[in-house]
Structure formats: C-alpha cells, structure tokens
Structure 1
Amino acid sequence: MKTDVEELTPTRVKLTVEVPFDELKPNLDKAYKEISRQVRIKGFRPGKVPAPLIDKYVGRGAVLQEAVNDALPQLYGRAVEETEIFVLGQPDVEVTELDDGKQFAFTAEVDIRPKFEVPDYDGLEVVVDDAVVTDERVEETIGNLRERFASLTTVDRAVEEGDFAVVDLVAKIDDETVEDASTTGLSYEVGSGSSVEGLDDALTGLKAGESATFTASLTGGERAGEEAEITATVQSVKVKNLPELDDEFAQLASEFDTLEELRADVRTRLERQLRMQQLSQARDRALEALLEKIDIPLPEKVVEEEISRRNQQLEQQLQMAGMTKADYLEGEEKSEEDFDAEIAEAARQAVKGGFVLDQLAVQEELGVENEELSEYVVTQAMQMGVAPQQLAQYLTENNQLPAIVSEVLRSKALNLVVEHVTIKDESGNQLDVEAIQRELNGETVQAESEDAQEAPEAEEPAAEAETEAETEAEPAAEAAAETDKPAESDKKDS
C-alpha cells in the first residue's frame, strides 16, 4: 500500500492511498460469503451459492462495492498510522480508482492537530487569590446554617415584607385559566421578587382568606411572555423564627458543644475550601500562561463542534433550572452577540489547551498506568454517585476508555506545568503546591462527606421557600464560559 500526504492547510491534509488489488482478497471473500447468505438461488442453500453464480445473478460490481466498504476503515487506519498524523474527527473519503483485478485507490481529507513544539515553561509566574478567611465570612456561613434550622410560625395579621405567605395563584388570559401558571399552597417569601412581577405588592397588606388581582407577564410555561390576569389568595401568613446563636444552637446544628468550637470548625473548613480553590486556580492560570506563549492554527470544524457542545450544555442546565436563554442573558446583562463571542473564545481556548497538553504529553513521553485509570474511574464514580464497577462497564461498552486515557494524560501534563510554575498569592506569598496538597490529603474526602450530610430538619424549615428563588443561572454560566478545559473532540481516529 502506498500513501501520499498533501497539506491543504496547517490543520487539514489529503491522503492519497493506492492499494494493490490482491490486498482486497480477504474482503472480497467476505463479501461473497455475505451476499451468498442473502441471495436465494434455486438448488443452493443460503450461504452455499458459488461466486460465479453471484457474479452472474447479482453482479461483480455489487461484490466489489461490498468489499471496498468493508476494507476502507482498515486501509484508512493503516494510512493514518503509517503517516504518523494526529487526525481529528471523521474523514471525507472518495474512491478514485477501482480497476478490477489490478488496483484500488482512494483519497481522504481530514482535519489534523497542527504540528508544533511546546516551548520551555520554566519561569512562568501566576497569581492566585489569597486564602484568608475573614470574620465576616465565618459569621455569614453560620448565618446560613441558622437559616437551615429556621422554622415558620403562623401569625394572625396582614402580610408584611419578609413574611412567608401560603398562597393560591390563578392566572387567566381572556377569561381562560392558564393551568401551568396556576398553583395552590405555594409558600412564598414576600419581597423576594422570585415570582411574577407584581406579586409582592399584591400580597402586602392582605390577611388570610383575602385576595388581590393584578396583571403581569407570565415567565414560564407554554404562554410565557403573555400578559395574564393573576389572582392571589392568601391561605396563611407565617414569620420565620431563627434559633438563638448560642451553645444550644451549636449542639443542635453540629457535633460541637459550644458556639466557639463551631466557629473554629467553620473557619477551618472555609480555609480548606480556599486552599482547594488556590490549587484549582493555579492549574487554570498555569495553563493560561502557557497558552499565551504559543500561537497555533485551530481547525474551525473542531472549534465549531466545541461551541455546539457548550451551547447544548448550557441549554440543558437552563432547562433544569426552569429558565430560558433570554432570562439568563438578562440576568447577566449581556447581549446575545456578546455571549456568543464569549462562548466562541472559550471554545477556541479549550481546543488550543487540549492540543498543547496532548503535545506536551508526547514531548515528555508521559503514559497512563492501569492504577491511574482505576483511580480516575473511582473518583468520577464517587462524584456521580454510582458504583465504580458500573461506571467502568459503561465506559468500556461505549468505547469511552480512549477518551479517559486522553483526559488522564492531559491532567498529568498540566500537573507537570504546575510543578515548574512560580505561584504567588495576591499578597505576594509564594505557594508550595505540594505542601498544600499534602495538607489537604486525607482531609478533603472526609470534609466533602461531612458537608454532604444534611442537617436535621426543623419543624417547618423556611429554607425550602427560598430554594427556588436562589436557583439562578450562575451554575449554567460557569459551564458555558469555561476557558481552560481541554477540548474533548480532538481524539485520534484509526
């Protein structure tokens, strides 16, 4: 087999492959057997029809086509391996010659990873946030904990701002009830602004059993954006009662006997979180600093695929949050053009980051051991809440192991960069990444496990009424605007 490579652009090549016809013999034999099982010719059982009769009744051309289709993937893979190019995505293949008994030839145009060398990264310097826990941050965290143990008490008076009103809402358009915009028994914090515009004003001053009607634009459902007449009826009025901030509260909300012990533990946990954030920032900013030193062309098709992936991810997260893209853009005070530009730039950085880390792994001759793969799978399984064996089986059955190997390799390459980068906090203190990792080692998993445990429920927690109001678009924005995650689309096809 002979293969020539023509560089169309720095990120796209054309392979011209010539194959002696003899190399197609195994594929031809397979094609005859396959067609023999499919045709019905009198006097012959399925699978026993001789080749000459298949040529006569089905046609030699059909056999050749079957053989070529069977041979192309393997021949293309051999051509890629022989030319040592790193291909991205699927090729555009065209059969250019099929001379029965003599020769077979085809071309394949495909995107490739650009050829470049990662420059020396010793001496790079990055700055991360300070890991200082203020007294205000500690008190804010304890205040949030108090909210989890708050209870609601019914009062016999008119609704005031800050109260929790249990209300029934009926929305009508042209005297027709809009079912998906109506509800009963809604616990709503008056003044939170977390429902339709005008509800806060309508509820203020009402007593249990009283109603008010107002007009507002619906924010969700099939008739979102349309003006509706909404009637709000108060079932009951409740006030939030916070527990006293004392030793008794510490015993209720934690394993500690005193409030000071609780405060000390909160400070320790916050310091650990900030240390972990410093490590994450160090990795992100080390990669950013390295990328600034490298200028490489990027395959537009790969970038477009990454943009599409990010937009799909954002849409899914917005749907889960019950929001539209328009709601998100309004909350972020961004135009769609600005948002699209940010997504495009983030996608380009992600693709570029993937290329750079892949090349660094090659230059440094990094590899992945079975133990490292197992550790990765176990970590991912813990985060997903599934059994490691179940996740491993899924990855194997769906041919995801090559992608996992690539992810682990990139992580190792990035770790190598971080080891050679000088990291300082905003106050100018130089950080020892390994020391921080040792400090957190063994504590992180335990801390996450403890944080995940829900505190005992109070009689009637007010936090439930606030949950929906706090579910905004910020998590979705973070996933859509990542600029440092290596792209997942640039896998080597063979």
Structure 2
Amino acid sequence: MKVTTEKPEPGVATLTVELPPEDFTTAVDKALTRIAGRTSVPGFRRGKAPRNLVRRQVGEAAVNEEAINHLVPESYDKAVQELGLSPIERPKLSLVQADPGEPLIFTATVALRPEVTLGEYSSVEIEPEVIDVSDEAVDRVIAQLRESRATWEPKDGTVGADDMIIADIVMDLESDPESGNRRTERNGSEIIIGKNGFPPGFDSGVDGMSVGDTRKFAVIWPAVPRTAENGETEVAPREALFTVTVHELRYQSLPVVDDEFVKSVSEGQFETRDDLLADIRARLTVESLRNARSRTENKVVDAAIAGATFEIPARLIELEAHYLEDEERESFARRRMTIERYLQLTGQTQESWHAQLHEAAERQIKARTLLDAIVEREGLVVDTSEVDREVAETAASYPTDAARVRKELNSADSRRRISTSILRHKAIEKLVGYVGGYPEPTTVTSSELSDGQSHSEVEETPSE
C-alpha cells in the first residue's frame, strides 16, 4: 500500500491510497463468498452454488462494489494508523481507479484534531490587574441601598429629572407604507424620567408638563435591522409620535444614611455608617479580586495563543459556532426572547452576530488545544482524590438531588471530563505563575476579606 498526503487547508488532510492489484483480487474473492452466503440460486442451497453462477446472477458490478465497500474503509483505517493521524470525523472518500488488473486508487479527505506549535509561553507578559476599590464605587452602593428604600411622594409643579409620572401613553410607530403605522396604548403607566427605556427625546418631550396636561411630540426611534423587499437587511430609523397625558407626578424621597438606616439595611449587624462602609468595601474588594483573577487568566491564555501557531479545520470551527448559537438560542428562550428580537434591541445583524460566534468558537478551540498541549509539555497530572473532591462539591450544590448528581458525575465519561477540566485549569495556573501570579488586593486587610459572608443588602459589584 502506497500513501501520499496533502494538506489542502489548515487542519485537513487528503490521503491518496494506492493498493496493488492482488489486494483488489483478494477483496473480490471475499466479496463473492459473502454474496454467495446470502444469495439464492435455483437448484442449490444458499451458500452452496458455484461461484461463477453467483457472479453471473448478481453481476460483476455488484461483486466489485461489495469488494470496494469493504476494502477502501479498511485500507483507510490502516493508512491513518500508519501516518499517526487523529481524524475528528469520518472521511470523504472518492474512488479514483478500480479497473481489473490495475492498482486500486482512492482519496480520503478528513478533518484532523487541531494541532498547535507552542511559543515561548513561559515568558509572556500581560498588563497586571490592579485591585483598588474607589470611594466612588462604595458611594454607588450606598446610593443603590438608599434607592431600594426610597418612597415616591406627590409633587407639585412640573415634570423634571428623576421624577415619576403616572400617565396614559399612545405611541404611533412609523412602519412600512402598506401596513401603516403601528399603534401601542398604555394606560396608567409608571414612568421614571431618565430610566424608562424610551428612545432619546421622550424625556425632553414630557419635561415641564403638569398633572392634567396632554402633549403630543415626535421622536426618532433608533435604527434597527429590518429585511427589505429585496431580501437584504437594511437599517433605518423610524419616527414615533407620542401622545402623553399626565395623571400624577411624584418625586423620589431618599432616606438619610443614619444609624437607623444602617441597622435596617444590615438587619442589625452593624451600628454605624463606618461599619457599613467597611463591609461594603470588603465585599466589593472580594468581587473585584475575583473578576481580576478571571481577567488575568484570560489575558495569559490570550497571550499564549498569540505566540502559538495553530492548524484548525474550518469545519470544526463551524461546528463549535453552531453549538454556541444553539446555547444562546436556548438561553434566550428561557428568558422568553428570540434571537431576532435581541438583535433588533442591540442593533446587530445576523451577519455580525454570526461573526461574533465564529470568533468566539475559534478562540475556544485554540484555548483548549493550547492548554492540552501545555498539560503534556509540563507533565501535569490529576489524581483520583481531586476528581472525587470536584464531584462531591458539585453534588453538594444540589442538596435536594445530590445522590442523582453524584451518580451521574461518577460515570466514566463525566469523570474523564472533570479530569480534563482540572488539568486545563492547572495549565492556566502555570501560565499565571509565569507572569508573577494572581493580583492581590491593595485596599482591604486580610481579616476583612476572611470575615465571611456580609449581612448588608448590596449587590457584589466590582469597581470600575
């Protein structure tokens, strides 16, 4: 058997396999035996008819086809083993020559497992992350806490910034000429000026109105992708005509940050403003540190990717992109939103969204390939106890269904996936170590970080 290999594109191999005539002759003999065993010839028991009668009954072409259908896949598998290739899917086979007495020649084109040539990943450099929770970040949390306990009180005068109006709204949105404008009516809507989701121009349109006033005004609805008559995607703004009648006007009354406020938001855990501020700062630091560690990991992986050379079949990237698309569609479906609606709201097109998925898919494949290669280069290993610990911790997070989760995670496939995940994270930790380690906080003491779970009602938002 002679085999030559070409690479028509990255990550794809085309094998040209040539088999000597005697191999084809042997394959034909075996094919004829198999056919005779399942063919009935008048006057003979099945499998006992002379081979020439069987050949005459089924035809020469059927015998040759049977031989080729067995010989070609078997020869392909042998060629792959001899060359040490790692295909990720079945090949596309094409018969080049199969004439009696001549060598049998076929080609096999197949996508291969991604390959990487590692760069000098131990000397990569990244911009270090700085953990520094600002006073402004703490103030924003205090503002959120005050807003969460604010009340809306009746207001005299006219509509201004941050006020709430209770109003009837009629909106006529410009549509295509055939279907006409699209009308939406909402009665008794609570609308906060500056935080209502209406397009720019709405807030200024109601500015200065008083209770009992009715006002009409037009705003330009932001451009969103639409399909034109010729099937192409076009982006065009539309006019929206609003009719607003104000029934009530209110202002937001924010509580004073005094001792009573502190006791309320901390459920009695803290007595003074300083105690609350220290708790908020510690929690923001923990969250900021967590995010900084994640960004550091992404940075070192991206830096190592940039210094490496990859061979990835385009087909694999497409499959990964389709997988990511399915995940996003399922995620939006759980939130009762379609991808099409999401694209409209964000001003994206199908093309730009698919380009983002394609880019993300390629990055994920490169990251996995890179980390697996580093695991092998560094000789990293994972022992059974590490997998057991991961299984136990994951199962514990499902207290009402821990037994079932533990059983599923202890299957051979699941344990193999967990082991791979642990090894890849060890590779990331190696990369982080080469750039000096993970970032450390600079504005909070270790005792504050280890203080445990906070009791103040504040979302853990990282500082900017």
Q: What TM-score comes out, normalization by structure 1 length?
A: 0.62
1:242 positional shift: 1.8
Q: Distance in 1 between matches of 2:448 and 2:6?
A: 51
SS at match of 1:191: coil
Pairing 1:166-205 to 2, within 5 Å after superposition: 166-172=166-172, 178=182, 181-192=184-195, 194-205=197-208
Q: Deviations over 1:360-379 (max 9, x none)?
A: 22323445556555666777
Aligned to 1:128: 128
Q: Alpha-carbon deviation of 1:201? A: 2.4
1:257 matches 2:247: no
- CA, structure 1 residues 84+216, in 2 after alignment: closer, same or farther (shift >3 Å)? same
Q: Give structure 1 stretches of 5+ with no counterpart.
A: 42-48, 331-335, 430-435, 456-494
Question: Counterpart in 1 of 2:219?
Answer: 216
| Contact kept? 1:27, 1:71, Cα under 8 Å | no
Q: Which residue identity lines up with residue 278 of structure 2 in the other structure? A: A
Matching residue of 1:421? 435
TM-score by length of 2: 0.66
The whole-number CA distance in structure 1 between the counterparts of 2:77 and 2:27 is 15
Q: State the secondary structure of the residue aligned to 2:198.
A: coil
Equivalent-residue separation in structure 2 for 1:63 and 1:452 (angstroms): 78
Residue 268 (str. 1) matches residue 267 (str. 2): no
Question: Secondary structure of the residue that 2:294 maps to in structure 1?
Answer: helix
Counterpart contact for 1:131–1:278, Cα < 8 Å: yes
**Aligned position for 2:7:** 8
Deviation (angstroms), 1:6: 0.9
CA distance in 2: counterparts of 1:31 and 1:266, whole angstroms = 80
| Cα 1:319–1:452 shift into 2, 3 Å | farther
The 2-side partners of 1:218 and 1:365 are apart by: 58
How many pairs were matched up?
A: 423
Q: Encode CA deviations 1:191-213: one digit per residue, 9 max, x unaligned.
A: 34730333212322333443222
Superposed, 1:335-350 pairs within 5 Å as: 349-350=363-364
1:362-441 → structure 2 map (5 Å cutoff): 362-367=376-381, 372=386, 389=404, 393=408, 406-423=420-437
Match of 2:142, SS? helix
- Indicate the SS of the match to 1:257: coil
Structure 1 position 287 matched with structure 2 position 301:
yes
SS in 2 for 1:324: helix
The secondary structure found in structure 2 opposite 1:161 is coil
* Structure-2 residue corresponding to 1:278: 292
Q: What secondary structure, in the 3-state scheme, does the structure 2 residue paired with 1:282 have?
A: helix
Larger Rg: 2
Q: 1: distance between equivalents of 2:147 and 2:123? A: 47
Q: Are positions 1:234 and 2:246 aligned together? A: yes
**1:109 — aligned with what?**
109
What amino acid sits opposite 2:6 in the alignment?
A: E
CA contact (8 A) 2:280 2:458 kept: no
Q: Deviations over 1:320-346 (max 9, x none)?
A: 79543684569xxxxx98x99887766
1:38-57 map, 5 Å: none
**Which sits farther off after the overlay, 202-211 or 162-171?**
202-211
Q: Which residue of 2 aligns with 1:85?
A: 85
The verdict on how the C-alpha distance between 1:162 and 1:119 changes in structure 2, with shifts beyond 3 A counting, is: closer
Give the letter aligned to residue 270 of structure 2: D
- Secondary structure of the corresponding residue to residue 195 of structure 1: coil
